[in-house]
Amino acid sequence: MPTYRRTFPGQPEEIHNARRFTVQCLGDPTTAATAELIVSELATNALRHTTSGTPAGTFHVTLSQTTHTLTVSVTDAGTTDTKPEFHHPDTEATCGRGLGIVATLAERVEVQGDHRGRTITAELPLPRTEKHRR
């Protein structure tokens, strides 16, 4: 099954390009919309909380499909004292909601890495096609 990878410069306008890349790689519009939101949240966090958001920074997006699962990963450039935290702030909060949104949308979320760089991976079930329903 296909795997798509791309590295983006650590500039805020590149989040749009990462979202577009995600949609272009995926066939199912519902899955693409969910994956696009996940990439947007994770890329925003990478730029905001790590050296990915510095002038020379980058972040990496990987999309991997199997028969039943889409795996969406964003890897940052690291060197930060903060660790990703999953929490659900109140509805009035203007920040701190990204990982909570990702955790709500994904079937499973995993964080790997350390101060040298972290990868956050979200797994989404793929919709069953007519061929699989029989």
- Cβ within 8 Å of residue 32, ≥6 positions away: 22, 23, 26
Give the CATH number of domain 3-133; options: 3.30.565.10, 3.30.390.50, 3.40.50.300, 3.30.70.260: 3.30.565.10
pTM of the model: 0.85
List per-residue pLDDT tens for the chain, 134 residues long.
799 999 999 999 999 999 999 999 998 899 999 999 999 999 999 999 999 999 999 999 999 999 999 999 999 999 866 666 555 555 565 555 678 889 999 999 999 998 899 999 999 999 876 444 33
CA-nearest of 7, 12, 36, 42 to 23 is 36
* DSSP strand pairing (108-114 vs 117-125): antiparallel
Q: Domain segments of the chain: what residues?
A: 3-133
Task: Collapse the DSSP code of 26 into the 3-class scheme (helix H, G, I; strand E, B; otherwise coil) and give the result.
Answer: coil
Instruction: Give the integer Cα–Cα distance in Å for 67 and 70.
Output: 8
